[in-house]
Structure 1
Amino acid sequence: MLVGVAIVLVLAVNVFRAVADVLQPLVPGISPSASASESREPEPVVEPAEPGETNPGLPPRTWEELPGPDSTDPDWKTLQQSAIYAQPVPLLEGCPEPELAYDMGDLERIATGQMECIQAAFKPIQAALGYSTDDIPIYFYEGRSVDTPCGQVSAPALYCSTQGGAIYFGEDSLNGASWMDFGVKDVTGHEYGHHLQAQSGMFQAEYAVGQGGNESARRIELQATCWGYAMMAHDPTQSVGEASLVEFEQYLRATIEDGIHGSKDSMAYWGIRGLYSADMGNCNTWTVAPEDVD
């Protein structure tokens, strides 16, 4: 799944971050010509989730309520009580169908379409919160590193928050994108989740409270994963039934545990929790105990 490094550049009073996410190599025994997604039995078609509702295609599951905020520190309040948490997960309309990406042409076509529908869906929320509604650019690069306004970064995919934000997809993104047909949706939603965090002031606040520590970095990453899967559950093109749930968890547990992006258990917990999220606050990783973001 997603692993990587976070690079933080402090310039004057601004914190600019490049968040790099590295896809797990293909699971042994699964080739692009025999992917898990292609062998899946079709699932019953159900009505998609509406904004602020849980996807009706998901099997019933009870989730514990997240703890409330417990800090009066301004930075912790930014993280624990962000205004975005009260917003519903929007319906993503006009997204491309789930599809395996085998080359850079596939990746650019699918990711561009997915970004268009995500950015359109979040504009009303951004406007309501006073955030910029400008589309952020996406770039595609060959090789394992790319020069960005945040510096040179070696990673298959990343978000750079400076100059309003941008998302970068490298050719190594094809590892996951050629394994599961929702792989591009996973990465795109995760990276756009980082953009929402940047707009909410979370990057600056996380740097202040964490001082580069791994626990706060994991909270940032697991929240972005949770939001990414919440987006997929509100994407009418994406199946989220029993069989898909098994694949989602398999994909999430394929993470390489690097101390920054979360353990296999944490990735699976927050990703699946995202699927069951009706509002953005259901992905609040900032009020839970450290062992819940290990």
Structure 2
Amino acid sequence: MIALAVAVAVLVLAQLRPADQPVALPGPTVVPSPSLSIEPWSLPAVDWEPLPEPDPASPLFAAQSAAINAVAPPALTGCPVPAVVGDADEWRAAVEGQWRCAHAAWRQILEEFRLSTREPAVHFFVGEGADSECGYVVAPAFYCAVGSGSVYFGDGHLSQARTWDLAVNEMVNHEYGHHLQALFGITANRLVAPGGLQLERRAELQAMCWSAAMTRANDAVVFDEAAYDGWTARLDRMREDASHGTRPSLRYWGTRGLYAETMGDCNTWVAAPAQVR
């Protein structure tokens, strides 16, 4: 009887013990969600045609073959963050800050070419024009190459800077482009070559193209789709005249500069007359 009781007890314990153990139940199947990747915005694809090679027989050969053509747009670092301005004081501070930044970006390159690294003086004026070492000049902004150079900015630009965050950047880089033209011998060639207003247009369109290139190289600029739209809208509003060019020319060079890998991609001096009307 005792042996039978023990056997029964062992059987009961053996039946109960599995129920005391935790049982792993199948859980829901976890399907990994696909990782979300947002492609960064990039400039619209454009198949830019290569520009002609410099022509040694051209009276513009010195401008066409300027050493700056092989230079990649330098990175502009530490520039003022582009923003609309509230008043004249903010505007002047932004202009001076952007000018210093552009000059700092080019200093090492100028040293490598053994060119002057002296920073041109910045002046401001009220009204449509101002006296300078180049005489009285009527323009929203202008550069004078006399001496070590100087640059003048008129308060007429203030209204644009109040509504477009890249206004100061575009204008200052443009005028600095004229300083580069003077340093690299382009201006000197322009002044003695025949061509009249077409040469003025070549100079202005190159400076505008360079401004676009330097804007893209500015790490303070978030050049996204909104910035691109703002830039092209500016090209559509920019003044057309015999010195600056027609709307198609302004659009062409002002957009081409955004894609420039070298400053030579803005070489208006080799372009056909139809491209610099």
TM over 0.5: yes
TM-score w.r.t. length of structure 2? 0.82
Is 1:63 equivalent to 2:48 in the alignment? yes
1:197 aligns to what? 181
4+ runs of 1 displaced by more than 4 Å? none
* Higher radius of gyration, 1 or 2: 2
TM-score w.r.t. length of structure 1? 0.77
Equivalent residue of 1:168, what SS?
A: strand
1:86 aligns to what? 70
* CA drift at 1:261: 0.3
Q: How many residue pairs get matched?
A: 240
Give the Cα–Cα distance (whole angstroms) in 2 for the partners of residues 156 and 287 of structure 1.
Answer: 28
C-alpha deviations, 1:35-63, integer Å up to 9, x for none? xxxxxxxxx996xxxxxxxxx84333321
Amino acid at match of 2:44: P
Between Structure 1 and Structure 2, which shows a larger proportion of helix residues?
Answer: 2
Give the Cα–Cα distance (whole angstroms) in 1 for the partners of residues 77 and 167 of structure 2.
Answer: 18
Amino acid at match of 1:287: V
Equivalent residue of 1:159, what SS?
A: strand
Give the Cα–Cα distance (whole angstroms) in 1 for the partners of residues 230 and 249 of structure 2.
Answer: 16
Give the Cα–Cα distance (whole angstroms) in 1 for the partners of residues 72 and 239 of structure 2.
Answer: 31
Gaps of 5+ in 1: 1-43, 47-55
Give the Cα–Cα distance (whole angstroms) in 2 for the partners of residues 223 and 144 of structure 1.
Answer: 23
Higher relative contact order (CA closer than 8 Å, sequence separation 6+) = 1
2:254 aligns to what? 271
Equivalent residue of 1:92, what SS?
A: coil
Is 1:247 equivalent to 2:216 in the alignment? no
* CA drift at 1:188: 0.2
Give the aligned CA root-mean-square deviation in angstroms: 1.8
C-alpha deviations, 1:54-97, integer Å up to 9, x for none? xx843333211111112334x52211110110111000000011
Gaps of 5+ in 2: 1-37
C-alpha deviations, 1:91-127, integer Å up to 9, x for none? 0000011111343212111011111110000011111
C-alpha deviations, 1:3-29, integer Å up to 9, x for none? xxxxxxxxxxxxxxxxxxxxxxxxxxx
Aligned with 2:211 (options 204, 225, 228): 228
Between Structure 1 and Structure 2, which shows a larger proportion of strand residues?
Answer: 1
Give the Cα–Cα distance (whole angstroms) in 2 for the partners of residues 121 and 106 of structure 1.
Answer: 22
Is 1:97 equivalent to 2:81 in the alignment? yes
Equivalent residue of 2:153, what SS?
A: strand
